[in-house]
Structures are given as structure tokens and as C-alpha cells.
Structure 1
Amino acid sequence: MKNYRSAPVRLALLAAAPLLLAGCASLSGNGGMTFVQDAAKTHLGATVQVAKTDQDIDTIDRRVAELLGKPMTADAAVQIALLNNRGLQASFQELGIAEAEMVQASRLPNPGFSLAKLKRGDEREIERGFSFDLGHLVALPLTRQLESRRFAALQRSVAMEMLSLAAETRKAFYAAVAAEQTASYMRDVRATADAGAELAKRLAQAGNWTKLQQAREHGFFSEAVLNAARAEAARVSTRERLTRLLGLWGAHGAFALPARLPDLPAEPKDRPDIEQVAMATRLDVQAAKATLDATAKNLGLSKVTRFINVLELGYMRNSSNEAPRQTGYEIGIEIPLFDWGDARIAKAEAVYMQSVHRTAQIAIEARSEVREAYQGYRSAYDIARHYRDDVVPTAKRISDENVLLYNGMFISVFELLADARSQIASVNASIEALRDFWVAQSDLDMALVGKPSLGGSAPSASVAGTGGGAAAH
């Protein structure tokens, strides 16, 4: 066997020796999910799993079925969404694609070998060639750093998408519970109005009630019917939104919600350092910084490689049945006669400054959003506490006094019913305020780790003539 290596080739291989370890870069085995899994555990106390195989899907289905078999909680809803939401699973696959591209970019280029057999009359000629992309080899360390930073930015982006899904699921859960409770309350109001309308009808038939009084009672009954229908529509809408976020469908979409919203905490959270915390923990800020670093590295890469982007080192051997044997090597280099690369450098610098300004804007928006979220949280808490400690107790005291008057035969049953109607607005508004607090709590939690959807409030079942509310009682 003939040895085709020459001194230049051996020198090139020796020069590439420090990069051989990078050339052996391998996949992590979990699709780059470590960062996302850590974020889920740290910020949510939950787990995430990428569905790659039928076995993975079966494992997820069993866990989801186990959670659905118990009364639903906000944390359970979040866990189901993280496991079962197909849109999130698609993003996990995107992370696997990006990891594969990063590993591919970190590997050494394959050498090339060429063989040519030529014939001219009786003359035979055989050419052998060995080539290696030296330009790729020179740029490999910087390329590896660039792709690693891009992959890290994507990891943070996917983690932020996961946290956003968790926040939206939590808000949808509170909205669905509130709507269930409101629908139940409005069914009770309708039953009471039905009883009052029937009593008024009988009294009118006996001549003890005027047509005007009967019409008023019937009008209240008609309004109660409409309000119950609106509350039922809101119940279905909020439940279906939660179902979509959980990734459920058909018979698999059955789940039981609690009868009422959680009670208001004893005291609100005091966060004087909330902006500093947000700057340190928000994943969108971290992702912007990572993108900025990658862009800076890209600028450096452009400066290094603008003269060697078509540089190759090759070994050639020529043999013929008649001609003398030829050995040697060939180096090709692009001559920067017309394109010196200044336009590419100018573009890279402009892209870098663009990233600088975008990162600054993201930080400004993050500070504003976390302030707005905290103010909304405190305001929602104060409003809900006012309903809990003042408005609802006052309405109850009035109701208790009217019951005493009714028992003493000082007022009629219709005056008692009229008082009950006046309480409907207070009850619905109180439930809505409690729902808004828990939604604001979810927005605040999201604002500390990513961009919250502060503009989207929970769906509300407007109750005509009663102050309405999509919250439940």
C-alpha cells in the first residue's frame, strides 16, 4: 500500500489537532431541554417532558389522566398544560432542531478525496486529490461560539414561551372557576325570581295584586332568565379556553373545577425591589443579551474571515502510464481585488447596533411592565378586600335586618325579594373582584420572568341590571 501523505498535509493535520475534540461534538440526548426543565422546576415547581416516542406519549397520557382524576387546581392545570399542550411540544422539537444545527456547526468538515481517470489515445492518466476546507477550520472556534449563543437564546425563548403558557393557563383556570360560580349563583337568582313571579301571578289572579306589581315581578324574572343564559355562555366559553390550553379534547376533556375561587390572602406581597429582580430573572431580557453577544461575535467572525472565506488546502497526486509521477500540494486563495469585505463589515456593525437598541428597548419595557403588573396586583387586592370587608358584609347586614322585619310581619315577601335583588350586583362585583385579583397575581408572577399579557383580562359574564360578573360565588 502506498503512502499518499506529504509534509504539508501532515502539518495541516497537526495544526488541526487542538480542534479534534470540538469535531467530536455530540447531541445531549434530551433535545437541549435541560434549561427549560430547570426553569419549569425553579419558577413553577412543575415538570416538562418532550414527546419524542410513543413511550413518551404514553407516559404523558398516564400522568395527565392521573391529574384529571382529581379535583382541578391551578397548579394541576399548569402541569397538565406543560405536558399536554401540543403547541408547546412543537416548540420543544424546534429546540431539538436547533441543538442539532449547533452540534453540526461545531464539527470538523469532512476531508475530500477525488479520483480522475483520463484517456487520450493510448495514453492513460490517473489523478488523485485530497482536499480539506481550511477556511472552515480557521473559522470553526468562532462559529462554534456563535451557534452556542444562538442556541442559548433559543433555550431562553422556549422557556419564556413555556412560562407564558403557564401564566395564561392559570388565568384561564381562575376565569373558568369564576364563571362556574357565577352561573351557579345566577341559577339560584333565576329560581328565586321564578318563585316571586309565580306568587305575584297568583295574588293578581286573586285580586290582591295590581297588574303593575305583577308586571314588575315578571320583568325581574325575565331579566334573571337572560342573566342566567349569559352566565352559562360565559361558563362554556371560559371552560373551552381552559380546555384548549390544557390540550384536551373529546372524552379526554372532562375535568372537575372547584366550587369557588380561593380566598383572598391575608396581606399583599410587598416588593420594593421588583425592578431589580425583574432585570435579573426575566428570560426575555436574558435572551436579548444573549442575542446581542451572538451578534457581536458574528461581527468579529466577519472581520476574521473576509479574506479567507474561499481558502482551501489540498494534496494532489497525478499518475500516468507514460508521464512521470507528480506529487505536491495546492493552495487556493481568493484575491480581494474587487470586494474587500467592507460592505459586509458595515452590515454586521449595523446589525449589532440594531441588537443593542432592541436590547435596551426590551429592558425599558420590562421595567415598565413589572411596575404596571405590581400596581395592578395591589389595586386588585385593595378592591377585592374592600368588597370582602365592607360591601358584602354591609349587604348581608341589610339582608339580616329585612329578614327580621319580615318575620315580624313589618314588610311583605316582595319587599324581601326586592332587597335580595339589590344584593345581586354586590355579590357579582365581589366575585369579579376576587377573580381579578388572582388574574393580577398571575400577571405579576409572569412579569418577573417574562413578558406578561397585561392587556388581556379574564372573560366576564355581564349581568344586565345587576352589575354583572364572570366570577363565581
Structure 2
Amino acid sequence: MIRNLGSNRAAFIAIAAILLAGCTTFSKDGGFNTVSTTASERLGRDAVYVRTDEDRDAAFKRTQELLSKPLGIDEAVQVALLNNRGLQASYGDLGISEADLVQASRLPNPGFTFSRTHWSDGFGISRTFSMGVLGILTLPVATRIESRRFEQTKLETANAMLAVAADARKAYVNAVAAEQAAHYAAQVKDSAEAGAELALRMRQAGNSSKLDYAREQAFYAESVAQLAKARQQSVAAREKLTRTMGLWGSGTQYQLPDRLPDLPKDRPDLNELERFAMQNRLDIQAAKLRTESVASSLGLSKATRFINALDVGYLNNFETDKGHERGYEISVEIPVFDWGGAKVARADAIYMQSANRLAQTAIDARSEVRESYAAYVTSYDVARHYRDEVVPLRKTISDEMLLRYNGMLASVFELLSDSRDQAAAVNAYIDALKDYWLAETDLQQSLGGRLPPLASAQVPGASQSEAAPPSAPPTPAPATQPASPTNSEGK
């Protein structure tokens, strides 16, 4: 502390007024503007900080509007930004950091000491007015350090918001894919059940072998187990989406579309992604500010290594035998045992730690971009291969097999075997499509929450123009047995 000069009170009051006028005050938005701007520019969504009952009511009404129709992927992200409580909790870091900034910019409170002593023939009065001068001298540097930390917190909070948005996108893709797979598994199970019934009747009529009958019964039994597993996975994926969106009660009754968005017809070429990520990723920007803040703290530590306390005070004492006694006192800590070397060494170590963490963050970011882009390209090519090659070929084979069956050139069991192959191909396409949308989300996240602007314009996010994967083919009745009970079966 610094004991304040008191000989000229008017001058002191004027200086204090000037310093107080320069103190940082709380901002109107509490630093949330960085988060909301990031959400608008990179996601096309609105980030909302729910702090009052009015904010909560507005978020609830908007959520109800979004849930009143089948939920799209962008709507799921918006619901998460409105209701995810973990995200809302992270916004509290903004208020904490801004409070630290305001506190660092404030002058230290002055101190006043009063004492009254008695002795046999008189008494004495001692009055001391003091103030922390070292805090005043370091006030500009401390304010700059906390200002950088506040900017760093803004970026980190915005990055946390982007992470929640990415989690919502991935949870949505998994939920829709799981529900689509469950619906298709139900169709396959119905087809397998019809095939098993057909094989049973043909076996009873003596028109099929025990091997063919066992194959159809085994496929039906497996399809029942696969359907149960698919439905459980659908429930688990939906619940994860529900948690990510922060919904409960009646809000959990939202409706998802029947299938995933279709694969874009073309995949854009993305160039210089590493450079884009270095410029766009908020965690790298926050790490840079953290390192700059630590460097400033290191400079402050070196500047004050020999002075831990500097006290200046105005004295106004009175004793009955001496009268009034006025003056000042200065108190300085003498660096006899502690020369500040440990403090500087600690600051040096923190700086090197921060610098290395910044370098590692950049290295990891570049690697994540390369890895996610490779997965993006591969998953697109695989999904397109299933869409353009495998599934159409399986459809052609199924159509040709049905023609041969109707022409009595193929048996019913050959037709049933082909239907199983077609079902496997469709399931593989659903998985490939899911992998593509997950890979695109991972790529966006590795680039800072969005693809480069040109790529974003070329890749439609939720096209539904292409045909849906074919449903499980129905099991026809055997045309070769007009007298059989199965002749009237249309399963």
C-alpha cells in the first residue's frame, strides 16, 4: 500500500477524480455481442443469453414454434442455442471475466487509522490517511492484462457455443439416421415374416426343402432381433438429441423427418483449408490473447520484483504536552530475503507454458483439418458410390429377378435371397449418408464452425430432391403352385 499525500487535499481529490473518471465500467451487453455475432455469421442462427423471466418466456415461445413442425437440422441447432443449460452456464464466464476487468481498473480503497491514548497527565490522538500507491502505478498495465483476458473469454465462450451447435448437428444426424434405420428394419422384418410364412406353407405342402425352410426361418429370427436393436438405438440417439437441445416434458414430443437430407450432387473443391482454419478458429485466437496476456504479466512481474509494498501516508497527531504534530511517512519493503527471483521465474515458466500450448493448439488444429477433410472426402465418395452404383444395381437385380420369378425362371427362395441382399445395400447406404453428414459437421468444426464461404454456397444443407432409398421388396406368392394355400397370399 501507499500512504497518501495529505498536505494538499484539493490536489489529491482532483487527481483521484481524474483516475476514477478513467475506470472501466460494465458494458451493456456483458461481452455477449461476440457470441451472438459469431452465431449469426457462422451458423446463421441466434445465440440468446437467458437472464430474465422475459428472456425465458421469449425462448420458450420460439422453441414451441420450432417444435410445432418436423424438426430440421438448422432448427435443432437453434433449439439447442436457446435451451442448452450447459451453454447458458458457460455464458456466466463472461460476467466473471468482465467483473475482474472492472475490478482491476478501480483504484485501491483508501485507509484511515485513528487512535486515542491516555497517560497519567494527558492523552494523545493519532490520525493517518493512507492509500495503495503501488496499485495506482500498476493500474494501467493491470487493466490492459485483464482487458486481454476478457477478450480471450469472449472468444472461448463463442467457441463453446460453436461446439454445442456441432454437438446438436451430430446428435440430429444420428437420431434421424437411427429412426430411418429402425423404419427400414421394420419393413425388412415384415418382409422376412412373410417369407417365413410362405416357406412354412410350402414346406407343409411338400414344395420346399428343409434347408430352404430353415434359411427363411433364420432370416426372420435375425430380422426380429435386428429390429429390436434398431429401435433401441433410435431411442438412445433421440434422447441424446433431446439432451443436447435441453428439452424436457412436452418438449420431448418433437417430430423428426423420415430420412436424412440427401447427399449433395457435387462436392466442392476446398483449398487452403489450413490457412482458413488458422484465421478462423476461435480457440487459436483465444490462445494468442492468452499468451499476450501472460507476456504482459511477465513484464509487470519484472518491473515490481523488488517492490512488494510501498506505503505513503499523511500523519496528523496530537498530544497534550506537544500539541499538533503533522507530517508524512513512507514504508518500503526491503528485499533482504526475497529479491523477487522466484516471482519472475514463475512468470517465465507460465509464459513458456502458454507459448508452447499455443504452438500445440495450432499443430493440433492443422492436423484436425487434414484428418476431417480426408474423412469428408472419403465419406462423400462412399455415399455417392452407394447412391449412384450399389443401390441402383441392387434395384435392377431385384427387378430382373422378379421378372424371372414371374416367368417361372427363378424360384421364390432365390427372390427372397435377393431381397436380403438389397436390404443390406440400403442399410449400408443409410450408414454412408449418416457418415457424410457427420464428417461435414466435423470439418466445419475443425475450420472454426463453418466451411469457406464459396463452399457453403455450393453445398445445399438439406436437399430432399433425390429419391429415397427403396423399401424392402414384398415377398410374392409362388406362381408355380396354383393349388397351394400360398396362392392367395400377397405378402
TM-score over 0.5 (shorter chain): yes
Which residue matches 2:464? none
Contact in 1 for aligned 2:180/2:259 (Cα 8 Å): yes
Q: CA–CA distance in 1 between the matches of 2:353 and 2:208?
A: 78
Task: Give secondary structure in 1 for the equivalent of 2:326.
Answer: strand
Which residue matches 2:152? 153
Which residue matches 1:317? 316
Contact in 1 for aligned 2:212/2:413 (Cα 8 Å): no
Which residue matches 2:350? 351
Q: Does 1:31 align with 2:30?
A: yes
Deviation at 1:167, TM superposition (A): 0.7
Contact in 2 for aligned 1:186/1:228 (Cα 8 Å): yes
Which amino acid letter does the alignment assign opposite residue 305 of structure 1?
Answer: T
Deviation string 1:105-159 (CA, Å, 9 cap, x unpaired) is: 1111121222222222452322222111001101111111111111211221111
195-204 vs 175-184, which moves further = 195-204
Which residue matches 2:403? 404
Which amino acid letter does the alignment assign opposite residue 394 of structure 1?
Answer: L
| TM-score, scaled to structure 2 | 0.87
280-289 vs 409-418, which moves further = 409-418
Deviation at 1:343, TM superposition (A): 2.1
| TM-score, scaled to structure 1 | 0.91
The count of residues paired between Structure 1 and Structure 2 equals 451
Which residue matches 2:185? 186
Which residue matches 1:84? 83
180-189 vs 359-368, which moves further = 359-368
Deviation string 1:350-402 (CA, Å, 9 cap, x unpaired) is: 21122111111111111111111111111111111111111111101101111
Q: CA–CA distance in 2 between the matches of 1:337 and 1:49?
A: 55
Q: Please give the residue correspondences for 1:229-240 in structure 2 after superposition, counting only pairs within 5 Å.
A: 229-240=228-239
Deviation at 1:15, TM superposition (A): 5.4
Q: CA–CA distance in 1 between the matches of 2:239 and 2:233?
A: 10
Q: Please give the residue correspondences for 1:29-428 in structure 2 after superposition, counting only pairs within 5 Å.
A: 29-121=28-120, 123-428=122-427
423-432 vs 327-336, which moves further = 327-336
Which residue matches 1:22? 22
Task: Give secondary structure in 2 for the equivalent of 1:7.
Answer: coil
Contact in 2 for aligned 1:179/1:472 (Cα 8 Å): no
Q: CA–CA distance in 1 between the matches of 2:9 and 2:366?
A: 57
Q: Quote the sequence identity (%).
A: 50
220-229 vs 399-408, which moves further = 399-408
Task: Give secondary structure in 1 for the equivalent of 2:22.
Answer: helix
Q: Does 1:441 align with 2:440?
A: yes
Task: Give secondary structure in 2 for the equivalent of 1:116.
Answer: strand
Deviation string 1:305-332 (CA, Å, 9 cap, x unpaired) is: 2233211222221124553111122221
Q: CA–CA distance in 1 between the matches of 2:405 and 2:326?
A: 116
Q: CA RMSD in A?
A: 2.2
| Unmatched 5+ stretches in structure 1 | 452-470
Which amino acid letter does the alignment assign opposite residue 223 of structure 1?
Answer: E
Which residue matches 2:478? none
Q: CA–CA distance in 2 between the matches of 1:67 and 1:117?
A: 72
Q: CA–CA distance in 2 between the matches of 1:431 and 1:6?
A: 81
Deviation string 1:205-241 (CA, Å, 9 cap, x unpaired) is: 2222333322221111001101111111110111111
| Unmatched 5+ stretches in structure 2 | 451-468, 472-491
**Closer/same/farther in 2, CA of residues 13 and 344 from structure 1, 3 Å limit:** farther
Which amino acid letter does the alignment assign opposite residue 238 of structure 1?
Answer: A
Task: Give secondary structure in 2 for the equivalent of 1:252.
Answer: helix
Q: CA–CA distance in 2 between the matches of 1:298 and 1:472?
A: 64
Deviation at 1:88, TM superposition (A): 0.7
Deviation at 1:90, TM superposition (A): 0.8
Q: CA–CA distance in 2 between the matches of 1:57 and 1:208?
A: 69
Deviation at 1:195, TM superposition (A): 0.8
Deviation at 1:21, TM superposition (A): 2.7
Task: Give secondary structure in 2 for the equivalent of 1:260.
Answer: coil
Q: CA–CA distance in 2 between the matches of 1:319 and 1:137?
A: 30
**Closer/same/farther in 2, CA of residues 450 and 9 from structure 1, 3 Å limit:** farther
Q: CA–CA distance in 2 between the matches of 1:432 and 1:276?
A: 32
277-286 vs 264-273, which moves further = 264-273
Q: CA–CA distance in 2 between the matches of 1:375 and 1:186?
A: 31
Which amino acid letter does the alignment assign opposite residue 7 of structure 1?
Answer: S
Q: CA–CA distance in 1 between the matches of 2:249 and 2:121?
A: 78
Deviation at 1:290, TM superposition (A): 0.5
Deviation string 1:406-427 (CA, Å, 9 cap, x unpaired) is: 2223223332222111111111
Q: CA–CA distance in 2 between the matches of 1:375 and 1:57?
A: 42
Q: CA–CA distance in 1 between the matches of 2:208 and 2:223?
A: 21
Q: CA–CA distance in 2 between the matches of 1:252 and 1:360?
A: 44
